[in-house]
Structure 1
Amino acid sequence: MPDPGTTALKIGDAAALLGVEAHVLRHWEAMGLLHPARSPSGHRCYDRQALDRARMIRTLQRTGMSLSRIRELGESGRAARRALISAEREQVRRRIELFRATDRFLAHIAECRHPIIAECPDCAGFVAEHGGVAASTLRERAVH
C-alpha cells in the first residue's frame, strides 16, 4: 500500500487503511461529507486531508452522531457548530445514564429473588421507565 502521508490513495487502499468498505466512502461522498480529489482518469484520490476527514467522520459516527448531523456540523458556522456539539454532548450524557441504569438493572436481575422477574417492582419499574412499556403491561406478560 502506498504511504498515505506522501501519496494519494485509491479508494480501495483508503478504505482498507480506514477499516471501512469502499462503498462507505462513496456513500459519504454522495452525502457531501467527503470530497476526494480525482485523477485525470476520474478515479478518486484520497490525500492526507481526505483521510483525516474520513477518520473524523468515523469518530463522530461512533459517538452516535448521524451522518446528516455530521454534515450539518461541517456546514455550520462556529456558533451553530457549538450549539450542535452541545446538543450532541447532552445526548451522550443521556446514553451514559441509560447504560448505567441498565447495568444496575442487570445486576439486580442477576440476584432478583422473584420467581417471575416481571412481578418484581424494581424490574417492572426499570422497564416502565426505560423500556417504554407500562409496568402493568409487563406484569400481564409475565416474562420469565
Structure 2
Amino acid sequence: MIERARGHARVPGNVTCLEADYLADGALPESAFDFVSAVAVVHHTPLAEAVTRLTRLTAPGRRLVIVGMAANRTPLDWLIRACGVPASLLHARRNGGKHGPVGMPMEDVHLPWAEIRRVLHRLLPGCTVRRTLLWRYVMVWDRPREGGP
C-alpha cells in the first residue's frame, strides 16, 4: 500500500509517505505530522489504543482523519447498510468489480457504531464522526494548539 501511495501521480511534493508501526513506541516522532490519516486500519487493533497513538503523532493545531469500519448490530444499522448496496454495486461495476489490493489482509469488524462513537467522542472532544456508505465512518479531529489529548 505504501508503494501505491508513493507512486500516486497527485501526491504533492511537500507530502511524505511513511511506512512504520504506529503502535510501536519510538517508531514515529510524536507531534510531528500536519496530517495523519488511517484508512481501514484501526479495526485491526484495540480502538482506544489506536486512537491514542494516532493523536500523539498529530502536531498541535493539525488534523487527524480516520476512515474506519464498524459492525452492524441494530435494525437501523442494517437499514442504513442496505441503502448503500446499490451505490456499492454501481461503483464496483464502473471500476471493473469489487476488489482490494493483492495481498491486503482482511479482518472482521467487531465494534458496533454506538461503541465506536462513544470511544471517539470520549478520547477526542470536538471530533466529528460521520457514517458513510455500508459499514464505514469518517472521523475528523483537529488537535488543539495547546493542551488537549
Give the TM interval when normalised to the shorter protein: under 0.3
| Structure with larger Rg | 1
* TM-score (norm. length: structure 2): 0.19
Please identify which structure carries the higher strand content.
Answer: 2
* TM-score (norm. length: structure 1): 0.20
Per chain length, whose mean CA-contact separation is higher, i.e. which structure has more relative contact order (CA < 8 Å, sep 6+)? 2
Please identify which structure carries the higher helix content.
Answer: 1
